């Protein structure tokens, strides 16, 4: 079942003649994790905003094409976007982390008991249960990003959109976040993640979409996309393991994870 469908989508920001997205078609199914990769300015964040229904509704601009998202919008099962910088996502309404996490479902009009149960569960999953009574303004960037993750998990999204979600996290925090993304997919959500953590992509995503100048350059399994020499020359590159194989002068397809490299050996 398709959760997100983009059909020939082009998008222009206000006062710009150059499209930020150009004729993009993409489908993300239930339980699927798709990674968006690309150079800076390739359009990954814009695509996530379009998928989240924020562009052009909130950003302004012009959109051509069709965007469809399956699932109710307001009673849970909607689409939620996690941005890279936690400080800009703080509602400022929460005296405690528990209040901050409850901000989203409260806006959706959920009953209080459901908000409390979902909030406690989301905080536990994001690893911030022990911070529940802390003032969000006193947290570190990494702690705050995990709080923001709990905030979006509380809303039980059918489509989870992640924009460079590990930017503020250390290695353990990033691994925990990817594990949560896999759990979300396991419960049936569709996950679309824009990331420059290319080493994590092969173990995380079943598909990789390479964006360049707002257009889809490649869409396929990680091993296939990272086997294309063009993504190394003109795109963001690929996982470090594959880079080692390339540097050694070996022919593609290169292993894209340590596990695949061990098998290839």
Partner 1 sequence: MSGLHPYTQLALATLLPALAWLVPGPRAPAIALAAAVALVLGTPRPLRRLAAVAVAAAPFWLFLFLLHPPARAALVGLRLTTLLGAAAWVGALLAPGRLVEALVARGWSARAAYLLGGTLAAVPLVRAHARRIGEAQRCRGLATRGALVTRLRAVHALVLPLVLSVLHQLDERVLALETRGLGAAVHRTPLDPPADSPAQAAARWGAAAACLAALAARIA
Site track 136-165 with partner 1 (rule: CB under 8 A), x = hit: -x-------------xx--x----------
Could you tell me the smallest distance in angstroms from the CB atom of residue 212 to partner 1? 24
Of the candidates 151, 200, 213, the one whose C-alpha atom is nearest the C-alpha of residue 33 is 200
Across-strand partners of 209?
Answer: 36, 219
Cβ at position 53, least distance to partner 1 in Å: 8
Give min distance, CB of 79 to partner 1, in A: 8
Binding-site member from 14, 18, 88, 233 for partner 1 (CB under 8 A): 88
Structure tokens at 247: 């540097």
Cα–Cα distances (Å) from 50 to 38, 44, 74, 96, 210, in that order, read 17, 10, 18, 31, 17
**Which ranges in 54-170 belong to alpha helices (H)?**
97-107, 112-126, 141-153
> Considering only 12-20, 62-70, 109-117, 125-133, which stretch makes contact with partner 1 by CB under 8 A?
109-117
Hey, what's the torsion of the CAs at 166, 168, 173, 178, to 10 degrees? -10
The values of phi and psi at residue 259, to 5°, are -60, -45
89 binds partner 1 (CB under 8 A): yes
Of 37 and 102, nearer to partner 1 (C-beta) is 102
Q: Which is nearer to partner 1, 1 or 93 (CB)?
A: 93
Please select the residue that binds partner 1; options are 87, 170, 183, 244, rule is CB under 8 A: 87
Task: Answer yes or no whether residue 117 interacts with partner 1 by CB under 8 A.
Answer: no
| # chain residues binding partner 1, by CB under 8 A | 40
Give 185's contacts (C-beta < 8 A, 6+ positions apart): 31, 32, 33, 191
By beta-carbon proximity to partner 1, the closer residue of 154 and 257 is 154
Judge whether 211 and 48 are in contact, CB under 8 Å.
Answer: no
Q: Which stretch binds partner 1 (CB under 8 A): 10-18, 101-109, 196-204, 238-246?
A: 101-109
Which member of 107, 117, 179, 264 binds partner 1 (CB under 8 A)? 107
The total number of residues shown for the chain amounts to 265
Residue 191 in the binding site for partner 1 (CB under 8 A): no
Tokens of 118: 């979902």
Pairwise CA distance, residues 11 & 24, whole Å: 9
Q: Does 5 interact with partner 1 (rule: CB under 8 A)?
A: no
**Only segment of 26-34, 55-63, 183-191, 255-263 that touches partner 1 (CB under 8 A):** 55-63
Residue 230 has phi, psi (to 5 degrees) of -65, -35
Token pair for 110: 């959920």
Q: Pick from 141, 147, 44: which is nearest to 103 by CA? A: 147
Contacts (CB under 8 A) with partner 1, residues 65-84: 73-74, 78-81, 83
* Interaction site with partner 1 (CB under 8 A): 49, 52, 54, 57-59, 73-74, 78-81, 83, 85, 87-95, 99, 102-112, 115, 137, 151-152, 155
């Amino acid at each position: 079942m398709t959760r997100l469908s983009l059909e020939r989508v082009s998008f222009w920001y206000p006062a710009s003649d150059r499209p930020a997205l150009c004729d993009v078609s993409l489908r993300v199914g239930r339980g699927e994790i798709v990674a968006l990769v690309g150079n800076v300015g390739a359009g990954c964040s814009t695509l996530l905003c379009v998928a989240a229904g924020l562009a052009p509704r909130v950003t302004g601009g012009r959109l051509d094409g069709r965007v469809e998202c399956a699932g109710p919008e307001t009673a849970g099962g909607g689409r939620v976007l996690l941005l890279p910088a936690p400080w800009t996502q703080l509602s400022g309404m929460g005296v405690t982390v528990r209040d901050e996490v409850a901000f989203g479902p409260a806006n959706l009009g959920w009953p209080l008991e459901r908000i409390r149960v979902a909030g406690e569960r989301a905080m536990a999953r994001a690893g911030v249960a022990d911070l529940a009574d802390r003032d969000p303004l006193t947290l570190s960037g990494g702690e705050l990003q995990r709080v923001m993750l709990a905030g979006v998990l509380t809303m039980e999204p059918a489509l989870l959109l992640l924009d460079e979600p590990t930017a503020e996290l250390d290695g353990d925090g990033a691994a925990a976040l990817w594990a949560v993304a896999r759990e979300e997919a396991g419960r049936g959500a569709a996950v679309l993640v824009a990331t420059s953590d290319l080493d994590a992509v092969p173990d995380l995503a079943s598909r990789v979409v390479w964006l360049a100048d707002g257009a889809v350059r490649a869409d396929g399994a990680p091993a296939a996309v990272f086997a294309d020499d063009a993504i190394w020359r003109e795109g963001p590159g690929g996982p470090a393991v594959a880079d080692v194989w390339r540097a050694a002068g070996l022919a593609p397809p290169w292993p894209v994870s340590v596990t695949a490299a061990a098998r290839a050996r």
